[in-house]
Amino acid sequence: MRALMLASAALLLGGCVSVTDNSTDLMVEPAIEQAQAGPGGERDAPDSMRWLYGSGEAAVASLQAFDALGDFVERRAGSRPASSVAMGLDGRIGETPCTRDDGTPKPLAVVFDVDETLLLNSGYEYWQAREGVGYDSAVWDEWERTGAALVEPVPGSLDAVRRIRAAGVTVIFNTNRASKNAAATAAALDGAGFGPAIHRENLWLKGDDAKGSEKDGRRMVIAQDYCVIALVGDNLGDFADVYNDRNRSVQARRTLAASEETAGLWGNGWFLLPNPVYGASIRGSVDDVFPPDVRWEPAEPISDEGE
């Protein structure tokens, strides 16, 4: 649980990049174009990027979370659960049976998000940090197609995936990378050591159903064939779409994440990785983040320096 506490705290750090919303639905030729290494940059990197991509603290938080995941899966693999872990299913949080209609058991599986959960998109974030620019869908699409050689495994992720497979549990990827870039995404996962990744078998992408960037539909498809014992991601939407409702306030979303309904799942089937750089957690004005009942200010105004 310490790993999850660290990871959750990391999500509260400042960020500068908006939520990705990638495009859909063509096939890509097998030959994958490779991005070129760029020059260095003297601009100060945003604090959130310094933390996630450069700090030992971020590496340790990820190592702890993945070690806890490996321990959990090894324990759970020796049992035969009657139902999956709770997860987002078509707008609700629920469980699915771990047996087929004929009574035979479904194989066990762990479902991973990809970006900043298994893969650090270091090449893409370098470009954003150097140029001081925000998210651009066309640039992200180019990164998906060309950046396979410039990603890095999140610390601890490769060992966790190895342990999961050694326990006889299937690894499944559920990502909002575009289905038209399926070959390039598989190449990125394979090249980083997570493969094999096979589209529509153990790799599910945005555009594989009609729900766009929502993942509940894909989770339902996965749960038809597998007993999902754990979900792993860097955004609450990797566990249930209900958390990404834009009509829910910052504080209401935070309260929901720690509510009695799901509080016991963190570290017990739901495993969160730190990502202060982008995602649905990067929202809120000062007033949104700090509600009225916690606000304070000194009794006397602070004078400007030099007065």
What's the pLDDT at 18?
35
Instruction: State which H helix or E strand residue 203 sits in.
Output: strand 203-206
What percentage of residues in the chain have a pLDDT greater than 90? Answer: 80
Q: pLDDT by residue (tens digit) across 251-300?
A: 999 999 999 999 999 999 999 999 999 999 999 999 999 999 999 999 98
pLDDT of residue 37: 59
pLDDT score recorded for residue 210 = 85
DSSP SS3 for 113: coil
Q: What is the pLDDT of residues 119-168, one digit of tens each?
A: 999 999 999 999 999 999 999 999 999 999 999 999 999 999 999 999 99
| Residue 100: pLDDT over 70 | yes
Domains of the chain: 47-278 (3.40.50.1000)
Contact (CB, 8 A) for 25 and 180: yes
pLDDT band (50, 70, 90) for residue 44 = confident
The end-to-end CA distance of the chain, in Å, is 49
Give the residue, 49 or 8, on which the prediction is more confident: 49
Predicted pLDDT of residue 22: 36
Residue whose C-alpha is closest to residue 232's, from 281, 183, 186, 265: 265
Single-letter residue type at 175: T
Measuring CA to CA, which residue among 145, 156, 171, 153 is closest to residue 30? 145
Give the span between the Cα atoms of 184 and 178, in whole angstroms.
Answer: 10
Question: In whole angstroms, what is the distance from residue 263 CA to residue 202 CA?
Answer: 28
Average pLDDT over the chain reads 88
pLDDT tens per residue across span 58-93: 999 999 999 999 999 999 998 889 999 999 998 899
Query: Is the pLDDT assigned to residue 195 strictly greater than 50?
Result: yes
* Contact between 273 and 234 (Cβ < 8 Å): yes
- pLDDT bin (cut points 50, 70, 90) of residue 38 is low
pLDDT band at 2 (very low <50, low <70, confident <90, very high): very low
pTM of the predicted protein model: 0.85
Q: List pLDDT tens digits, range 9-20.
A: 333 333 333 333
User: Sorting pLDDT into bands at 50, 70 and 90, what band is 27?
Assistant: very low
- Is 6's pLDDT higher than 60? no
**So what's the pLDDT on residue 56?**
98
At residue 21, the pLDDT reads 37
On whether the CB atoms of residues 116 and 192 are closer than 8 A, the answer is no
Q: Which two tokens stand for residue 208?
A: 């594989």
pLDDT at 79: 87
Asked whether the predicted pLDDT for residue 176 surpasses 50, the reply is yes
Burial class (CB in 10 A: 0-12, 13-18, 19+), 36: exposed
* Three-class SS state of 293: helix
DSSP string, 46-94: PHHHIIIII-HHHHHHHHHHHHHHHHHHHHHHTS--SBPPPEEETTEEE
E strand or H helix at 206, and its extent? strand 203-206
